[in-house]
């Protein structure tokens, strides 16, 4: 390999003292409501049983009693979407220095390994962002859209996706946002069969502004004798959401959050949080993020590789490439699908 004078001069006159890389670790606010479940199969199967809060009825003594028919469960099967990304280590800038020397120093080899690891983690972050967006879609419409294959529809009830409509949005001074929050909590309690008394309400930034500026909300904040609410400075948590405070909505306690983080697709910046909406969830949810096995060749005596992320590398002697692959096959599955309430609060 021929080394130019400019490159040779750089070896003796230049030292790298700092490196700025604007790669951010993805946030996972919506993802945090799902519990990981890892399987070694292609498909993921769940069982759903609908129950009711029925009460017993007294009967005549000496009679046969009352026969109760139990509800049957429903089986559902999903094939999670598959992600596979890779990069070629021979395209790294440090590669030409590493293999352009007769004697490879330990520091140069360590630099190469660091660059490989950094670029591999960038691929992991891309998958994490895609899976966070899947969770956002579950909370928004209940439909996970796919580039390859059929969209996955979790059949959320129409009553769980409410658009207030003209004249009833929070920007109207006579509309009471606390009533809407209570209605969402009540739906989750009664239809979603949640025993929660505390709920999380994540608001779009514009919705949060409308909430603060609503005449009924402002009037209630001026009450000094009875403290029903606690609105304070934003407190950001470890997964990207900011706690704005808490309010009472009827008999329910509601923690209010905002989630301003974004992802980029084809240079277009898109918020994870659906615009104009409020997403209400119980404090403890019945949801899983299921990971199935990724495509792999079976080996005698070997086990199927499983996990949220599978790492592999491939050396192609013919084309002189060394590829590092990152794979994942995961899907957010809302077992308690009726424990999600989505409200469009502004126009």
Residue-by-residue DSSP string for 251-263: TEEEEEEE---EE
Give residue-wise pLDDT tens across range 41-67: 999 998 877 777 777 877 788 888 888
Q: What is the predicted pLDDT for the residue at 227?
A: 66
Rg (CA), the chain: 27
Mean pLDDT of all residues in 308-333: 93
Mean pLDDT of all residues in 106-120: 84
Q: How confident is the model at residue 11 (pLDDT cuts 50, 70, 90)?
A: very low
Cβ atoms of 23 and 125 within 8 Å: the answer is yes
Full set of structural domains in the chain with CATH? 24-47+74-146+290-333 (3.15.30.10), 156-286+336-344 (3.30.1930.10)
Mean pLDDT of all residues in 305-333: 93
Q: Does pTM top 0.85 for this prediction? A: yes
- Residue 22 vs residues 19, 27, 122: alpha-carbon distances, Å: 10, 15, 11
Q: Which residues contact 317 (CB under 8 A, 6 or more apart)?
A: none
* Percent of the chain with pLDDT strictly greater than 90: 64
Residue 5 pLDDT exceeds 70? no
Q: What is the dihedral of CA 89, 95, 98, 100, to 10 degrees?
A: 130
Collapsing DSSP states into helix, strand and coil, what is residue 165?
coil
Measured CA to CA, the distance from residue 196 to residue 170 in angstroms comes to: 26
Give residue-wise pLDDT tens across range 221-269: 876 555 678 888 999 999 999 999 999 999 999 999 999 999 999 889 9
How many C-beta atoms lie closer than 10 Å to residue 131's C-beta? Answer: 26
- Residue 197 vs residues 7, 176, 247, 253, 283: alpha-carbon distances, Å: 66, 21, 12, 6, 8
Q: What is the predicted pLDDT for the residue at 19?
A: 52
For residue 243, list its beta bridge partners: 235, 257
Q: What is the predicted pLDDT for the residue at 99?
A: 63
Give residue-wise pLDDT tens across range 90-99: 888 777 776 6
Of 78, 194, 47, 72, whose CA–CA distance to 143 is shortest? Answer: 78
């Amino acid at each position: 390999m021929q080394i130019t004078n400019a490159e040779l001069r750089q070896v003796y006159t230049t030292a790298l003292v700092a490196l700025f890389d604007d790669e951010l670790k993805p946030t996972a606010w919506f993802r945090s409501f799902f519990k990981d479940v890892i399987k070694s199969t292609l498909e993921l199967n769940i069982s759903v049983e609908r129950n009711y809060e029925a009460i017993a009825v007294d009967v005549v003594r000496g009679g046969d009693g009352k026969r109760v028919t139990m509800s049957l469960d429903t089986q559902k099967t999903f094939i999670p979407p598959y992600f596979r990304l890779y990069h070629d280590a021979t395209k790294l800038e440090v590669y030409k220095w590493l293999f352009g020397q007769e004697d490879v120093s330990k520091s140069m080899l360590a630099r190469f390994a660091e660059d490989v690891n950094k670029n591999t983690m960038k691929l992991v972050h891309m998958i994490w962002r895609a899976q966070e967006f899947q969770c956002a879609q579950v909370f928004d419409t209940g439909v996970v859209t796919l580039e390859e294959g059929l969209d996955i529809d979790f059949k959320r009830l129409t009553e769980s996706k409410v658009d207030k409509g003209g004249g009833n949005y929070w920007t109207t001074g006579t509309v009471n946002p606390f009533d809407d929050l209570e209605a969402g909590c009540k739906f989750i309690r009664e239809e979603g069969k949640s025993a929660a008394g505390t709920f999380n309400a994540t608001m779009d930034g514009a919705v949060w502004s409308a909430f603060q500026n609503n005449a009924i909300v402002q009037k209630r904040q001026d009450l000094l004798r009875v403290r029903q609410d606690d609105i304070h400075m934003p407190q950001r948590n470890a997964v990207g959401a900011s706690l704005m405070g808490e309010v009472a909505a009827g008999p329910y306690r509601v923690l209010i959050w905002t989630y301003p983080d974004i992802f980029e697709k084809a240079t277009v910046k898109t918020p994870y949080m659906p615009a104009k909406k409020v997403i209400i969830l119980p404090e403890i949810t019945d949801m899983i993020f299921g990971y199935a096995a990724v495509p792999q060749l079976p080996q005698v005596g070997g086990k199927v590789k499983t996990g949220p992320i599978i790492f592999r590398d491939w050396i192609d002697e013919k084309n002189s490439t060394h590829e590092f692959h990152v794979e994942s096959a995961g899907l957010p599955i809302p077992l308690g699908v009726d424990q999600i309430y989505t409200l469009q609060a502004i126009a």
